[in-house]
Amino acid sequence: MPSKPKPVRRLVIVLGDQLNADSAVFDEFDKDRDAIWMAEVPAESTHVWTHKARIALFLSAMRHYRDQRRAEGFRLDYRQLDDRGCRETLGEELVAACKRLKPEELAMVEAGEHRVQQQMEAAADEAGLPLEVHTDRHFYSTRDEFADHAEGRKQLRLEFWYRELRKKHNVLLDNAGKPEGGKWNYDADNRGTFGKKGPQDVPEPPTFRVHGPTKEVLELVASRFANHPGSLENFNWPTTPGQAERALEHFIATRLPRFGDYQDAMWTDQPFLYHAMLSSSLNLKLLDPRLVVAKAEQAYRSGHAPLSAAEGFIRQILGWREYVRGIYFLHMPEYLERNELGATAPLPEFYWTGETDMRCLSQAIGQTLEHGYAHHIQRLMVTGLFSLLLGVDPKAVHEWYLAVYVDAVEWVELPNTLGMSQYGDGGVMASKPYCATGKYVQRMSNYCTACRYNPAKATGEDACPFTTLYWDFLARNQKRLKGNNRMTMQLKNVERKDADDLAEIREQAERLKAELA
Ligand code: FAD
Ligand code: SF4
């Protein structure tokens, strides 16, 4: 008979995106009296219809973490998804673990998703135990620091927060404490396109061996979640801190120098281009953002990467990543319900299959299903733009993004989706809706050359649906957007449009919406 586990003093909860060994929750960890608790539960893969690769990444990284911690002498209570009697939710598993292990108290680092934090607190209440919640020091800034920054400001903008963090953490500053090169932001240099020749010599991403827990989990996910979206065939994401650091080194050595120039560009059958592919490693906390930023700064100082590339990259991590987290925690839980534009259309079915004759969408969604990855402009200005123009319910859009990307955790996904891409928050994240015609896609990619639609046309059989819906979007939201100075030009253009032409466009838009619904 196996001996009954000893009661523990403190049970330390580690969630699937909290895999940093130096987390604050371990500061006073006593290996003789405390234990780590982790659980894989079905609900975390099904509360949104999760991509197989995202499930596999989380489970594999968790199992690697478990094995490492055990090897270091930590006591771990770990529930596997394929264990007999595995309960549906994290809350149920935690209550059961408390009954079994009889801890005196629980501890955790604040969860990256409001829903999960609520569940942990409810489970602690049910078990009648105190729950100590620690600040997440993986990030440069705390939630309170962001709240202080936001206090009294009518409008929040990335730029001010980013500068504050650059100064505070002495990143890319010269000896006088001024920004390197004299400017804080090289965004204007980050919008290059590939021209007709297309991208040249794009480095292959590094590959990661599938073994041990990864192999085990890929098999489990393939059989248990066979009907979930996405493929596991190309699974190639770092699942350990060692692999994540290798991915970082590879990016700095091969892709960072051109990251700046081509950050916004897209190209057929080129899913990764010069992007870092580090978001999942950062969000699971396999990788420390300070290390990532330091390596990028070092690449600039050593002359390996131009300032526009290093600054452009650092801005994403020290700037955007910290900023969206601040927004999420400042506004949750009501943020999730926001729908400034009153959008109610359902998400088109092709978002789950990639089967559409719109080339840009079939490319962006196709690679998403294949890899669980699309880069920022594909997310914002292809899939995000189309659902914005179509008027899809922002919550449905949010659930799709949360489900299909390997790096999706709600604190980062929700403000980017509901806020930045859908304008559902009415301007908290972005000062205006990111709306454009198909001509934007044409300028930034080669997708339109092989598409049956014409980005310059808003009506007719070959009219680009983005272009048709763009005018319809402006016309239907004219009143709502009127007070926004940054929309003046676009709204003027719609006002100037010939009434008959606009009516024809809007009829075509209605037919399109009906087809897609
Ligand atoms: P790179 O383009 O190489 O950028 C480097 C790093 O900067 C990223 O790894 C990421 O950590 C950070 N970063 C870049 N842009 C942002 C941003 N807008 N917000 C926060 N961090 C940023 N990012 C996620 O990590 N998880 C998500 O669930 C997510 N959902 C998104 C949904 C929408 C609608 C949009 C428009 C963007 C979303 N992003 C999300 C932001 C961004 O698209 C991804 O971080 C990026 O594409 C990840 O690829 P990469 O590592 O190659 O990034
Ligand atoms: Fe996309 Fe329109 Fe270009 Fe086709 S023509 S690829 S639908 S933007």
Q: What is the pLDDT of residues 301-315, one digit of tens each?
A: 999 999 999 999 999
Q: From ligand 2's centre to the CA of 387, what distance in Å?
A: 14
- pLDDT at position 295, please? 98
Q: From ligand 1's centre to the CA of 353, what distance in Å?
A: 22
Q: From ligand 2's centre to the CA of 440, what distance in Å?
A: 9
Atom number, ligand 1, closest to the C-alpha of residue 274 = 3
Tell me the CA end-to-end span of the chain in Å, nearest whole number.
59
* CB-neighbour burial class of residue 85 (10 A; exposed 0-12, middle 13-18, buried 19+): exposed
- pLDDT at position 5, please? 62
The tokens for 117 are: 């934090």
> Residue of the nearest CA to atom 20 in ligand 1?
321
> Residue of the nearest CA to atom 7 in ligand 2?
358
Atom number, ligand 1, closest to the C-alpha of residue 263 = 2
Q: From ligand 2's centre to the CA of 290, what distance in Å?
A: 39
- pLDDT at position 192, please? 87
- pLDDT at position 403, please? 98
Atom number, ligand 2, closest to the C-alpha of residue 440 = 8
Q: Where does 88-225 show beta strands of DSSP type E?
A: 105-109, 131-134
- Type of residue at 463: A
463 lines ligand 2 (CB under 6 A): no
pLDDT in tens, the chain (517 residues): 556 666 789 999 999 999 999 999 999 999 999 999 999 999 999 999 999 999 999 999 999 999 999 999 999 999 999 998 889 999 999 999 999 999 999 999 999 999 999 999 999 999 999 999 999 999 999 999 999 999 999 889 999 999 999 999 999 999 999 999 999 999 887 788 998 889 998 999 999 989 899 999 999 999 999 999 999 999 999 999 999 999 999 999 999 999 988 999 999 999 999 999 999 999 999 999 999 999 999 999 999 999 999 999 999 999 999 999 999 999 999 999 999 999 999 999 999 999 999 999 999 999 999 999 999 999 999 999 999 999 999 999 999 999 999 999 999 999 999 999 999 999 999 999 999 999 999 999 999 999 999 999 999 999 999 999 999 999 999 999 998 999 999 999 999 999 999 999 999 999 999 999 8
Choose one of 267, 269, 359 to mutate for the ligand 2 pocket test, by most ligand atoms within 8 angstroms of C-beta.
Answer: 359
Q: From ligand 1's centre to the CA of 340, what distance in Å?
A: 23
d(CA 414, CA 328): 7
- pLDDT at position 326, please? 97
- pLDDT at position 154, please? 85
What phi, psi does 440 have (nearest 5°)?
-65, -45
- pLDDT at position 189, please? 78
252 lines ligand 2 (CB under 6 A): no
Q: From ligand 2's centre to the CA of 443, what distance in Å?
A: 11
379 lines ligand 2 (CB under 6 A): no
The tokens for 450 are: 């092989």
> Residue of the nearest CA to atom 3 in ligand 2?
448
What phi, psi does 86 have (nearest 5°)?
-60, 130
Choose one of 453, 459, 471 to mutate for the ligand 2 pocket test, by most ligand atoms within 8 angstroms of C-beta.
Answer: 453
323 lines ligand 1 (CB under 6 A): no
283 lines ligand 1 (CB under 6 A): yes
**Which residue from 188, 240, 191 is spatially nearest to 65, judged by alpha carbons?**
240
Residue 231, Cα to own-chain centre: how many angstroms? 19
